[in-house]
Structure 1
Amino acid sequence: MSYRALYRVWRPQTFQDLVGQEHITRTLQNALAEGSFSHAYLFSGPRGTGKTSAAKIMAKAVNCEKGPAPEPCNDCQTCRRITEGSLMDVVEIDAASNRGVDEIRDLRDKVKYAPTEVRYKVYIIDEVHMLTTEAFNALLKTLEEPPGHVIFILATTEPHKLPPTIVSRCQRFAFRRIALPEIVNRLRYICEAQSVEADENALHQIALAADGGMRDALSLLDQVLAFGGRQVDEETVLAVTGSVSRNELAGILRALANADAGAALERADRLIMGGLEPERLLHDLIHACRDLLLMKTAPQLPEVKDRIHDQLWTELAEKWSVGQLSAVMDGLIAYQQQMKWTPHPRIVLELAIVNASQSNSALNEKEAVPSDTVRRLEERIRQLEERLQAIQGQIVTQSPQTAGFRRHDPPQKASTRSAGASVQQDQWKSLLQQSDTETFRRVKQWWPDILYKVKERKITVHAWLVDGDPVMASKDAVVVAFKNKIHRETTEKETNKSLIEQVMQDVLGSSFRLITVMRQDWDALSDSMTEMSAAAEEGKDAGASPSDDVMQKAVELFGEDLVEVVD
């Protein structure tokens, strides 16, 4: 077969060719230049980042006829044969298929023999974490004190599975995910060398789908070329990778910015009916929000440099604030976690879109206070200040006897207006007075177990409850505060609430009522009750005074529920 895959044709042959791993190549080159290289190396990192390529380059560098040198010449017979894989003294072992103790014993018996053609016998053990425990034990002594003519290079994508006794005997190098701009630059270079016309947005999409792996990027480029010929455009890349076009993403985000859940759902439905996976759409939405967030907070980053000059994304970024993007991303990421466990990913996606639209609408209302409302409030405050100054002047110039001070009952109008709020506030006040610190501490301690038990019984109830946090407990009740209104309302359904209360009884050993509240309401209530308690204490000490008339004037102006006395 004459055709070779791009990742094989463009496999790095020198340390300089390795992309995005300068911290490793510089160290190895310095060690080679000084002749102080180790007898054992451990290369760890994600797939497609250059671990095996670096191992082969190292084998060439130590055995090059013009070396050992910081770079192999790739011209001598030794370098060429190592590249071809035909040199017997450089042994590449796949630990996934040679994982037993017998294979390692065979290797241990052979390492004592000197190399036949080159200076060093190099053993490259790929996916070394696949070896059995017995195989690792058989390798230990040889790895610790190998003959002077042997170099071991171990490569793995899962270093945490290696025994510490193996890791401690090696120099470890952690390969990183390759940055998106570096992948794009490498793809552009290869396309130019292959005489392929490539659109910049298309290369960006390939790099994004590769997720930090150069081999994955080259494999995708190979697939795109097979699909679309000698021209690489964004439409072809999207068809091959199953990603969402930037226009579609921009349309959904524009609808969310306008709090138009219907338009966003229509676009999502059209994409899913066209064959797009809900998981992929949610993934791309999160990354698009991230790009917008970086455009607004760190436009100098290379990753968003191209977006900055894109009019479509620039206009879209103007529709969002940093707070809105942050809140929407938090929600989407939470739903992405839920999507991993649900048999209905499309429903989770639709719920995520609706929730993002609602939360953005709430933020818009909170951030955009009408200017006329602000003016009315400022005017009302000014009038209050003038009237208070006038009243205080009368108190200073008149004595209580001449002024005829007497304590008035609160105006009926103000009492009526605040009656509804007072009833609810009294109920919460009673509940707060019954709060028990020891019970609350026990609830907080066992809350993870409660969530786990709920998840075992009904995973959908757990998905709603996990948004809440216990904020108070009494001897017979637990108060849980929610950030999201939908989560609270669903938890309040009778069947869901009964299940949670039953689990709390099983875990805590006694029955508790579940009381739910919105987080912002709870914070406001706690502050209000604290202020009322402090004011009550001050009132006991102060008793009636001439300032009561000032307070009554303020009540007449604003209403009893908006007046706070500050000394």
Structure 2
Amino acid sequence: MHQHHVSFFGVLLVSYRALYRVWRPQTFSDLIGQEHVTQTLKNALSEGHFSHAYLFSGPRGTGKTSAAKIMAKAVNCLRGPAPEPCNDCEACSKITDASLMDVVEIDAASNRGVDEIRDLRDKVKYAPTEVRYKVYIVDEVHMLTAEAFNALLKTLEEPPEHVIFILATTEPHKLPSTIISRCQRFSFRRIAKNHMLARLHVICDAQGIEADDSALAAVVQAADGGMRDALSLLDQVLAFSKDRIDESAVLAVTGSVSRQVLGDLLESVVKRDAATALDRIGELLEEGLEAERLVQDLIHLCRDLLVMLAAPELEEVKNRMSMDERWTRLSEAGSVESFHSVLDTLIRTQQQMKWAAHPRILLEMAVVQLCQGDPSSASSEEVSSGEQPDLLRLKKRVQQLEERLAKWSGAAAPASAPSPQVSPPSPQERPSPPSAEPAPSPSLDRFLRQASAECLQRVRQQWPEVLSRVKEQKITVHAWLINGEPVAATENSVLVAFKNSIHRETTEKEANKSIIQQVMSRIFGSSQQLVTVMSSDWDRYKASSEISATTDDAFESRSESEEKADPVQRAVDWFGEEMIEVTD
């Protein structure tokens, strides 16, 4: 099926065709793992609503070029257009053999210039000679130059009725948006491991190859979602071990290590046995294994153990891990958090190895760190206790707080009325530690003792001028200060109450507060300090304290004087003579 006999100088030579060429999908049903693409294309073909331009993007070996050729056969099949090509008619056979002139496959990596695209654009206008549609398959289209893309734009948007473009690329982000918008885009995904494994079993059975499940699983693991990579590796392993494939042959070809050896190494790490772990690493590296490959294999094993622990009912876990009791024991020896920590350390080590001159040292450092225990991970005692590490850390935190509180053994329960928080006018007046009896805030207490009605009245009379001067200095500070109201005053300080905490906090900023205090000092003729408080706190504190008549007298004297004073004089007192214009 996959051999050709060629006579050369009388000697019979046998040419071998690679498995990925022999087993290239010939129908949409053969294209595994891309059902979201194949079903859409089949529906469009069955209804005759296919587009003039398609863009197939995705990782290598996922079926982009194969899907393009199947599409070319489906639209040109003599029994179609049909959802699936018959692969028996002359058109399908010629397209499969790449001998049909009307289906043109272009390698954009080699034909990336504007001249090649102009030549293509000139030939597009000619009708097909053998089939219904001329199909242009442009592989690795992201390699085209900017000029070539520009030359393709108009043709791609409005090609003749008989032309279909199929663009394929592994790097769609490099394509201009003007190209992408003119195509129907289909994103091909990495093929799932179970789909690849089933396909490899079919191929091995058809080829008469004896293969262990573990060997094919190792092939799938190394292929990383690409079917072509898997078949190429299978070809290589067949050349190494002829018609019998086992896991050791696959590991020898790929340069990996068996999972049993990895299990021994990881078990030493879990047991915090650094000497055994380092000794085993030395043996593996001396056997020719690369440190980068060993880290990668450890990452894959830890990932599988983490998935097994977090989601034991997954089909992937049941197929690959649950058959061996060793993996169950190893996963149960740790926790989700501990395996997460191990994975985090190994991944960081793998990234650092790309730039390290001595990757072995990084690997050994990572193993020693894991054996000594990462501070962010749960310790073996915590894991064995059966409690979650987060809960244990929370318990330790609570215990530390309780020990701190024990030092304040004489402290009493907090007062029923909360003490308002005000900004201290000086560093010497900060609140003292809790005592046996709650004391009022020193700042407010000072205002209650020293404030006078005369000082408050003077401040309120000159407050509009303060606002005006602050506005001249900085209008944004005025916008915040205008929302405050002076509620008490002494000879060298003013208490301003705010209803909104944002206004108060902004006023309290050092730069803003400095401007306000400078203005007050100039207007009041003496050094002044600004103290702020929330209105709700001030009202609550007044209600819960036996306040002298200083502040209340200020309110009363203000109201009485305002009633007796001439309205014009009151306006002058409030806003200043320059701001008032009296008219009859």
TM-score (ref. length: structure 1): 0.65
Structure 1 CA distance for aligned equivalents of residues 74 and 198 of structure 2: 26
* Match of residue 270 from structure 2: 257
Equivalent residue in structure 2 for 1:355, among 338, 344, 369: 369
Any idea what the Cα deviations from partners look like across 1:200-247, whole Å, max 9, x if unmatched? 010000000001000000000011111001111000000001111011
Contact 1:49/1:213 (8 A) holds in 2? yes
* Match of residue 332 from structure 1: 346
Give the aligned CA root-mean-square deviation in angstroms.
Answer: 2.5
Q: Which amino acid aligns with 1:215?
A: R
Structure 2 CA distance for aligned equivalents of residues 366 and 331 of structure 1: 21
Any idea what the Cα deviations from partners look like across 1:113-169, whole Å, max 9, x if unmatched? 000000000000000000000000000000000000000000000000000000000
Structure 1 CA distance for aligned equivalents of residues 163 and 47 of structure 2: 18
Contact 1:279/1:336 (8 A) holds in 2? yes
Deviation at 1:298, TM superposition (A): 1.2
1:232 and 2:218 equivalent? no
1:160 and 2:177 equivalent? no
Q: Percent identity?
A: 67
Structure 2 CA distance for aligned equivalents of residues 299 and 91 of structure 1: 50
* Match of residue 538 from structure 2: none
* Match of residue 189 from structure 2: 176
Deviation at 1:360, TM superposition (A): 5.6
Contact 1:181/1:302 (8 A) holds in 2? no
Report the 3-state secondary structure (helix = DSSP H, G, I; strand = E; otherwise coil) of the residue aligned with 2:260: helix
Deviation at 1:334, TM superposition (A): 1.3
1:218 and 2:264 equivalent? no
Cα distance change, pair 86–28 in 1 and its aligned pair in 2 (3 A): same
1:133 and 2:133 equivalent? no
Report the 3-state secondary structure (helix = DSSP H, G, I; strand = E; otherwise coil) of the residue aligned with 2:130: coil
Contact 2:334/2:383 (8 A) holds in 1? no
Deviation at 1:353, TM superposition (A): 1.2
Structure 1 CA distance for aligned equivalents of residues 234 and 385 of structure 2: 52
* Match of residue 364 from structure 1: 379
Contact 2:54/2:167 (8 A) holds in 1? yes
Report the 3-state secondary structure (helix = DSSP H, G, I; strand = E; otherwise coil) of the residue aligned with 2:257: coil
* Match of residue 431 from structure 2: none
Equivalent residue in structure 2 for 1:81, among 91, 94, 118: 94
Cα distance change, pair 368–146 in 1 and its aligned pair in 2 (3 A): closer
Structure 1 residue runs of 5 or longer lacking an equivalent are 393-406, 409-567
Cα distance change, pair 369–264 in 1 and its aligned pair in 2 (3 A): closer
1:293 and 2:290 equivalent? no
Deviation at 1:175, TM superposition (A): 0.3
Equivalent residue in structure 1 for 2:51, among 32, 38, 41: 38
Structure 1 CA distance for aligned equivalents of residues 17 and 313 of structure 2: 39
Within-5 A mapping of 1:41-56: 41-56=54-69
Structure 2 CA distance for aligned equivalents of residues 57 and 30 of structure 1: 14
Contact 2:112/2:145 (8 A) holds in 1? yes
* Match of residue 219 from structure 2: 206
Equivalent residue in structure 1 for 2:164, among 146, 151, 158: 151
Structure 2 CA distance for aligned equivalents of residues 147 and 368 of structure 1: 69
Report the 3-state secondary structure (helix = DSSP H, G, I; strand = E; otherwise coil) of the residue aligned with 1:202: helix
Q: Which amino acid aligns with 1:54?
A: A
Q: Kindly indicate which of the two structures has a greater share of residues assigned to helix.
A: 1
Any idea what the Cα deviations from partners look like across 1:64-105, whole Å, max 9, x if unmatched? 000000000001011011000000000000000000000000
1:342 and 2:356 equivalent? yes
Any idea what the Cα deviations from partners look like across 1:299-352, whole Å, max 9, x if unmatched? 222332221112221222121211110111111111111111212211111111
TM-score (ref. length: structure 2): 0.63
Q: Which amino acid aligns with 1:307?
A: M
Deviation at 1:368, TM superposition (A): 5.2
* Match of residue 329 from structure 2: 315
Cα distance change, pair 267–221 in 1 and its aligned pair in 2 (3 A): same
* Match of residue 7 from structure 1: 20
* Match of residue 41 from structure 2: 28
Structure 2 CA distance for aligned equivalents of residues 127 and 114 of structure 1: 26
Cα distance change, pair 255–109 in 1 and its aligned pair in 2 (3 A): same
Cα distance change, pair 280–369 in 1 and its aligned pair in 2 (3 A): closer
Cα distance change, pair 310–360 in 1 and its aligned pair in 2 (3 A): farther
Q: Which amino acid aligns with 1:28?
A: L
Cα distance change, pair 44–370 in 1 and its aligned pair in 2 (3 A): closer
Structure 2 CA distance for aligned equivalents of residues 221 and 367 of structure 1: 45
Structure whose alpha-carbon radius of gyration is higher: 2
Structure 2 residue runs of 5 or longer lacking an equivalent are 1-13, 387-391, 411-434, 437-584
